[in-house]
Amino acid sequence: MTDTSRIQELRDQLHRHNYNYYVLNQPTISDQEFDALLRELSDLEARHPELFDPNSPTQRVGSDLSNDFETVRHRRPMLSLANTYNKEEVRDFYERVQEGLHGETFEICCELKFDGLSISLHYEDGHLVRAVTRGDGEQGDDVTANVRTIRSIPLQLAPGGDWPREFEIRGEVLMPWTSFEALNREREAREEALFANPRNAASGTLKLKQTSVVAERKLDAYLYYLLGDDIPEDGHFENLQRARQWGFKVSDAMRKVRTLDEVYAFIDHWDTERRNLPVATDGIVLKVNSQRQQRSLGMTAKSPRWAIAYKFQAEQQSTILREVTFQVGRTGAVTPVANMDPVQLSGTVVRRATLHNADFMLQLDLHVGDHVLVEKGGEIIPKIVSVDEAFITSERGPKVEFIRHCPECGAELVRYEGEAAWYCPNETGCPPQIKGRIEHFVSRRAMNIDTLGPETIEDFYRQGLIRNVADLYELSVDQLSGQNDTRIRSARKTIQAIQDSRDVPFERVLFALGIRFVGETVAKTLARSFRDIDTLSRATLDDFLQINGIGRVIAESVIRWFADMDNIFLIERLRAHGLQFRLSQQVLDAQSDRLAGKVIVISGVFARHSRDEYKSLIEQHGGKNTGSISKNTSFVLAGDNMGPAKLEKAQKLGVPIVDEEAFLKMIED
Ligand code: IVH
């Protein structure tokens, strides 16, 4: 036998053994035998570099080379699902489907909702050619090299199978509980930050630059959606059974049902049974089985009308409250935090839970030593739901009170009208507020000074080098470095990054200042409307209220900020350091009033720009984007798959439909 054919034979064998082991959980040879075959292949491949194949079983171990992710546009957008939280909402879905299909009979495919990150896999001639993350649904990262290390994903389908020449299959990449726990144990030993849940761990892993590290992390994947032009069956369930035969890992938990009672039974079964699964799930997915019926039901802008997710209730556990501590954030808001006996909850150990604010905390009527019920939804931060009354005895510990003074600086706390939080008013003297503002200022979406992490800021603050953001621009290499060479190098880098931030455009500087209620979007609106900081600083309440999207709360907050002399001095210092306090000529030039007075609804899926880009184009040209069609709508900017209800409404009200090409012409010079 020639080397070439032996290589081919070994690859085929190893693909099959991989499948038996990782997909079927039924190995037919021992690990030693497997390793021996793999070694033989690896040796042969080393002698024949001309026969390299990225999909060879030897490539599953990854490489140490850095791997960059290219952004690619999805051929078909990756939509998400609308969520439901109770059986009434499930019934509403079922009835909507019934109505949408005008009484035709239909089947529902019930599936588990896996809690990982979605992935799109492309196969051509039976080979995995591309794997892309969901990203924003329109474009994602090409993570093929990392995905090749996932053993349960076939790199090459068994020859002779009835798979289409070209297809896409979507599913969820997951980190099984056992791998997740092992990973966190290792990280704890190395004093590295722990992953909050397997989803974060899986998504962090898939974005790693070194495929060899990805290979060690033991990811898994379940596939749940087959797409393409030559899909064998009309039934979604039937297609997935085929996909299973082709070598994909498809969940056994899928069931095809007809009645609502059967749907409920599936939900009830898995609501408890899911605790015994090796991977995290956060609900059930219901899909109309027939693709012909799916097409006739269509989709809304965000999600299909033929499918829905039912989310499980968050898991709860009982534990003992030991102490309540208080955290001061960047805005001075004080958050009460419960410190409890450690308890295992949805796969992680929980010791702390947020109590949100004074009202929430007082409503619970907490006493130290109480048994409390802790809950963790999909969120990372757990919360206390109630005191477990079964355990309340006559000798309860002391009642937990909200504090009156800032735990960090001692200032008396204040409460602003209409707000739940208590605030420390000592903005310029309270350490966590000062540090928090600096952290916000340097963050990626603000000034993007990425060499300054929270520890460095803490360090500079403790040394007395920085008290506000203007101090950053006066730091010198000498102050930061000391003697050591690497430290000098990193100090130079830091100073350079700070200096470079002077080019950051005005709207982001405005956001970076951290004025309350001035988030990214508001900062953009204010920058576009007032054009420079001096005009903004003189604006009156009426000036603000003229602007679309700016209300009283924002206006008053900005006015209050500019009334504080400390802030005026701060601006003057930053200006002296060369920061941008007016809109750039480029942005001014790009603005026009071609869409002035126009109210525009966006609907469907677009090819040339994302929905967000269209939204900002509308704003840049003086138009207004709204969500639903009314008689005031000037036109609908429509992409593919515009919802039939919207279309009907537009036609009824005589609202014109404009496609993306025509729209782009409208705003062209
Ligand atoms: S189907 C158009 N099936 O849930 C239908 N999704 O909010 C697309 N997910 O982004 C999705 N398990 O990451 C589908 N059995 C399942 C799923 C599932 C988990 C995730 C997926 C999607 C999100 C939907």
CA of 78 to the centre of ligand 1 (A): 9
The pLDDT of residue 375 is above 80:
yes
Among residues 485, 503, 521, the one where a domain terminates is: 503
Q: What is the pLDDT of residue 284?
A: 97
CA of 289 to the centre of ligand 1 (A): 15
Q: Which helix (H) or strand (E) holds 191?
A: none
Euclidean distance between CA atoms 369 and 356, whole angstroms? 20
Q: Which two tokens stand for residue 458?
A: 């803490």
Q: What is the pLDDT of residue 402?
A: 95
The pLDDT of residue 89 is above 90:
yes
Q: Does residue 402 fall inside a structural domain?
A: yes
* Selected residue with higher pLDDT from 418 and 309: 309
Q: What is the pLDDT of residue 253?
A: 95
If one residue of 138, 224, 289 were mutated to test the ligand 1 pocket, choosing by the most ligand atoms within 8 A of its CB, it would be: 224
CA of 172 to the centre of ligand 1 (A): 8
The pLDDT of residue 443 is above 60:
yes
CA of 307 to the centre of ligand 1 (A): 9
* Span of 378-382, 455-459, 486-490, 552-556 with lowest mean pLDDT: 378-382
- Model confidence at 160, pLDDT cuts 50, 70, 90, reads confident
Nearest CA to ligand 1 atom 17: 113
138 and 245 share one domain: yes
Q: Does residue 334 fall inside a structural domain?
A: yes
| Mean local confidence (pLDDT), 365-378 | 86
The pLDDT of residue 22 is above 60:
yes
Residues 536-557 pLDDT 10s: 999 999 999 988 778 898 999 9
Residues 557-582 pLDDT 10s: 999 999 999 999 999 999 999 999 99
Nearest CA to ligand 1 atom 23: 80
Q: Which two tokens stand for residue 143?
A: 């993570």
Residues 591-637 pLDDT 10s: 888 998 899 999 888 888 888 788 888 988 888 888 788 888 999 99
287 and 318 share one domain: no
- Model confidence at 534, pLDDT cuts 50, 70, 90, reads very high
Contacts of 270 (CB under 8 A, 6+ apart): 112, 253, 281, 284
Domain of 40, CATH number, reads 1.10.287.610
518 and 616 share one domain: no
The residue type found at 72 is V
If one residue of 110, 285, 294 were mutated to test the ligand 1 pocket, choosing by the most ligand atoms within 8 A of its CB, it would be: 285
- Model confidence at 445, pLDDT cuts 50, 70, 90, reads confident
Q: Which two tokens stand for residue 225?
A: 């959606």
Measured torsion, CA atoms of residues 288, 289, 290, 295, in degrees rounded to the nearest 10: 40
- Model confidence at 484, pLDDT cuts 50, 70, 90, reads confident
The pLDDT of residue 664 is above 70:
yes
Euclidean distance between CA atoms 386 and 491, whole angstroms? 49
The pLDDT of residue 189 is above 70:
no
Domain of 120, CATH number, reads 3.30.470.30
Q: What is the pLDDT of residue 613?
A: 82
**Pair 18, 151: CB distance under 8 Å:** yes
Nearest CA to ligand 1 atom 13: 118
Contacts of 295 (CB under 8 A, 6+ apart): none
Q: What is the pLDDT of residue 380?
A: 57
Residues 63-83 pLDDT 10s: 766 677 888 999 998 988 999
* Selected residue with higher pLDDT from 289 and 301: 289
The pLDDT of residue 357 is above 90:
no
DSSP state of 70: P
CA of 80 to the centre of ligand 1 (A): 6
Q: What is the pLDDT of residue 266?
A: 97
Euclidean distance between CA atoms 174 and 222, whole angstroms? 8
102 and 220 share one domain: yes
Distances 90 to 83, 86, 151, 287, 308 between C-alpha atoms, Å:
9, 7, 36, 12, 8
* Span of 52-66, 167-181, 264-278, 515-529 with lowest mean pLDDT: 52-66
581 and 654 share one domain: no
Domain of 610, CATH number, reads 3.40.50.10190
Residue 568: count of CB within 10 angstroms of its CB: 13
Strand partners, 139: 73
The pLDDT of residue 643 is above 70:
yes
Instruction: Provide the number of structural domains found in the chain.
Output: 6
Q: Does residue 69 fall inside a structural domain?
A: no
Percent of the chain with pLDDT over 70: 97
Contacts of 181 (CB under 8 A, 6+ apart): 347
Domain of 473, CATH number, reads 1.10.150.20
**Pair 225, 169: CB distance under 8 Å:** yes
46 and 138 share one domain: no
Q: What is the pLDDT of residue 299?
A: 87
Q: Which two tokens stand for residue 182?
A: 């092992």
Among residues 471, 503, 535, the one where a domain terminates is: 503
Q: Which two tokens stand for residue 617?
A: 């184009």
Q: What is the pLDDT of residue 210?
A: 86
| Mean local confidence (pLDDT), 376-401 | 80
Atom of ligand 1 nearest to the CA of 225: 1
CA of 473 to the centre of ligand 1 (A): 47
- Model confidence at 122, pLDDT cuts 50, 70, 90, reads very high
Nearest CA to ligand 1 atom 11: 80
Residues 588-600 pLDDT 10s: 888 888 998 899 9
497 and 510 share one domain: no
357 and 476 share one domain: no
Residue 384: count of CB within 10 angstroms of its CB: 24
Pairing of strands 414-415, 83-84: unpaired
Atom of ligand 1 nearest to the CA of 81: 7
Q: What is the pLDDT of residue 615?
A: 85
Pairing of strands 599-603, 624-626: parallel
Arithmetic mean of pLDDT over the chain: 90
Q: Does residue 66 fall inside a structural domain?
A: no
Residues 299-347 pLDDT 10s: 887 789 999 999 988 778 899 999 999 999 888 999 999 999 999 886 6
* Selected residue with higher pLDDT from 475 and 395: 475
Q: What is the pLDDT of residue 578?
A: 97
Tokens 């101090």 sit at which residue?
Answer: 471
- Helices H / strands E in the chain, number of each: 26, 22
Q: Is 657 exposed, middle or buried (0-12, 13-18, 19+ CB in 10 A)?
A: middle
547 and 495 share one domain: no
The pLDDT of residue 368 is above 90:
yes
The residue type found at 573 is R
406 and 494 share one domain: no
Q: Does residue 373 fall inside a structural domain?
A: yes
Residue 106: count of CB within 10 angstroms of its CB: 18
Nearest CA to ligand 1 atom 21: 118
380 and 321 share one domain: yes
| Mean local confidence (pLDDT), 11-18 | 92
Contacts of 103 (CB under 8 A, 6+ apart): none
Euclidean distance between CA atoms 229 and 244, whole angstroms? 19
Atom of ligand 1 nearest to the CA of 79: 2
Task: Tell me how far the alpha carbon of residue 656 is from its chain's centroid.
Answer: 35
Euclidean distance between CA atoms 575 and 132, whole angstroms? 44
Among residues 558, 589, 620, the one where a domain terminates is: 589
CA of 334 to the centre of ligand 1 (A): 37
Q: Does residue 658 fall inside a structural domain?
A: yes
Give the 3-state DSSP-derived string for 369-412, with helices as H, strands as E and coil as C.
Answer: CCEEEEEECCCCCCEEEEECHHHCCCCCCCECCCCCECCCCCCE
Atom of ligand 1 nearest to the CA of 116: 13
441 and 563 share one domain: no
Of the candidates 243, 201, 195, 238, the one whose C-alpha atom is nearest the C-alpha of residue 222 is: 243
**Secondary structure of residue 151 in the 3-state scheme:** coil
Domain of 326, CATH number, reads 2.40.50.140
CA of 117 to the centre of ligand 1 (A): 9
Q: Does residue 394 fall inside a structural domain?
A: yes
* Ligand 1-lining residues (CB < 6 angstroms): 79-81, 111, 113-114, 118, 134, 172, 224-225, 285, 304, 307, 309
* HSE-CB for 408 with a 13 A CA cutoff: 23
Nearest CA to ligand 1 atom 9: 113
**Residues forming the active site:** 113
Q: What is the pLDDT of residue 483?
A: 67
Nearest CA to ligand 1 atom 18: 113
Q: What is the pLDDT of residue 432?
A: 94
Pairing of strands 624-626, 422-423: unpaired
Measured torsion, CA atoms of residues 208, 212, 215, 221, in degrees rounded to the nearest 10: 40
Q: Does residue 68 fall inside a structural domain?
A: no
The pLDDT of residue 412 is above 70:
yes
State the residue range of the domain holding 39: 3-61
If one residue of 74, 108, 109, 113 were mutated to test the ligand 1 pocket, choosing by the most ligand atoms within 8 A of its CB, it would be: 113
If one residue of 81, 168, 237 were mutated to test the ligand 1 pocket, choosing by the most ligand atoms within 8 A of its CB, it would be: 81
